[in-house]
Amino acid sequence: MLHPLGERASVPASDKALGALSEGTRSFGDARVLLVDDSQLIRMGLRRSLLEIGLQHVREVDNGDAALELLMREPFDLMLLDMEMPRRNGMQVLELMRESPHFAWPPVIVISGGAGMNDDAVRCIELGAEDYLPKPFNPVLLRARVTTSVEKKLLRDQEMMRLKQLRQQHEQLAKEQAKTEELLLNILPRSIAQRLRRGEERIADAFPMVSVLFADLVGFTAMTRKTTADKLVELLDDLFSRFDLITESHGLEKIKTIGDCYMLAGGVPMEREDHAVAVCRAAFDMIDALAELRERTGGAVNMRIGVHSGQVVAGVIGVRKFTYDLWGDTVNVASRMESTGQAGRVHVSPQTAALVAGHFDLEPRGSIEVKSLGQVETFFVDRRGERLFGVPTSKVAASRP
């Protein structure tokens, strides 16, 4: 009973043969032929005929088992297979090859001179043989059939190599496109990147109501005078990377960093009604993220946060190093909220305070001068439960006996 062959070395063997094709080094004279016949005299005659037509690389075995073992180790371009052999005849070899299609089998020309030659020829073709050659050999017929089979095999190999190269190019292109997509999404919001890919050349949108946050590190400049550059960049990268995750988790958009200042916005490029609440929640998460950095720096660094809500214009500017940015008085006022705030506090404008009332506790800050707006009453935002009657709960707890 015949059993299909295992998964041994089929791909490496075919790749070895195709590798030479990719370098343009294989030709008809480089083709490798395997002779399988139990008669040494017939093998000698066949070898001589093959050498005469220019085939120099010829291997010989005297039985079907040896042929199969050799085929699984080395690539060949043609096999001349005798039909009448002891142990495993040519028909059985073909049957086993058909049951093991995962191997890169070479084309087979069956040779036979026994009775029932016509029936055998039909059966061999049905089993996948390329051609049939009767004994005794006609030199002209042998040359024609061997030449045709080898050239067809080389053409198939070339086509396989072209397909393999196209597949590799396609995979490489897909990888490059994925890299480009990733880089683009690191620079621009996803919806903006999609609009650019669709061919939109100029992106400029007006938003009637968004919330803009500025967070600026206090004490960082002084730290630069006594800390190494590597340490400074490491600390800043660690903190701003956490801010990036916080921004993403709240569905907000990072706009940019300016030195040790971090800017984000809620309600762009996708509008949302709770933009002010989401931005304030992100602000408190940023304060929590800074707590560990303060421990590592001995409390040398703190942070002011300012938020304002209003209308903005958003768009993409630049040709090479383009960026998604915001413009308008709202941006200026948010920056003013930060610069006039207090370290460790979330300082907001009255517009933002009105939007977050009911979600957070608001502590009146008093009146401050804001460019283009004059005197403005501002507020500090506190997480509920952190203050009692305007006094931090930590101080209340500390005053108890």
For 100-150, give the DSSP string: -TTS-PPPEEEEE-STTHHHHHHHHHHTT-SEEEESSPPHHHHHHHHHHHH
Give the whole-angstrom CA distance, residue 236 versus residue 262. 11
What length is written for the chain? 401
Q: Alpha carbon 164 to chain centroid distance?
A: 20
Give every CB contact of residue 32 below 8 A, 6+ residues apart in sequence.
57, 58, 59, 74, 75, 76, 77, 78
Provide the CATH number for the domain formed by 10-166 in this structure. Answer: 3.40.50.2300
pTM for the predicted model, two decimal places: 0.57
- Looking at the DSSP assignment, which residues form a beta bridge with residue 285? none
Q: With beta carbons less than 8 A apart as the criterion, state whether 279 and 305 touch.
A: no
CATH topology match: 10-166 vs 202-399: no
Between CA 388 and CA 210 the distance in angstroms is 30
Digitized pLDDT (tens) for each residue of the chain, 401 residues in all: 455 565 544 444 444 444 444 444 578 889 999 999 999 999 999 999 999 999 999 999 999 999 999 999 999 999 999 988 887 888 899 999 988 878 888 999 998 876 556 777 888 888 889 888 888 888 899 999 999 999 999 998 888 889 999 999 998 988 887 877 777 777 777 778 778 777 777 888 999 999 999 999 988 878 878 788 888 888 889 999 999 999 999 999 999 999 889 999 999 999 999 999 999 999 999 999 998 777 777 777 889 999 999 999 999 877 666 788 999 999 999 999 999 999 999 999 999 999 999 999 999 998 988 876 788 899 999 987 554 334 444 443 433 33
Task: Tell me how far apart the alpha carbons of residues 331 and 359 are, in angstroms, rounded to a whole number.
Answer: 23
Q: Which of 60, 51, 57 is nearest to 81 (CA)?
A: 60
CA 101 to chain centre: 32
How far apart CA 323 and CA 317 sit, in angstroms, is: 6
* Residue 273 phi, psi dihedral angles, 5° rounding: -75, -30
CA angle at 102 for the pair 97 and 108, rounded to the nearest 5°: 35
Domain 202-399 has CATH 3.30.70.1230: yes
- CB-CB contact of 210 with 309 (8 Å): yes
Q: Cα(79)–Cα(90) distance, rounded to whole angstroms?
A: 11
Give the CB-side neighbour count of residue 72, counting CA atoms within 13 A: 18
Distance between CA atoms of residues 124 and 353, nearest Å = 88
Task: Give residue limits of the domains in the chain.
Answer: 10-166, 202-399
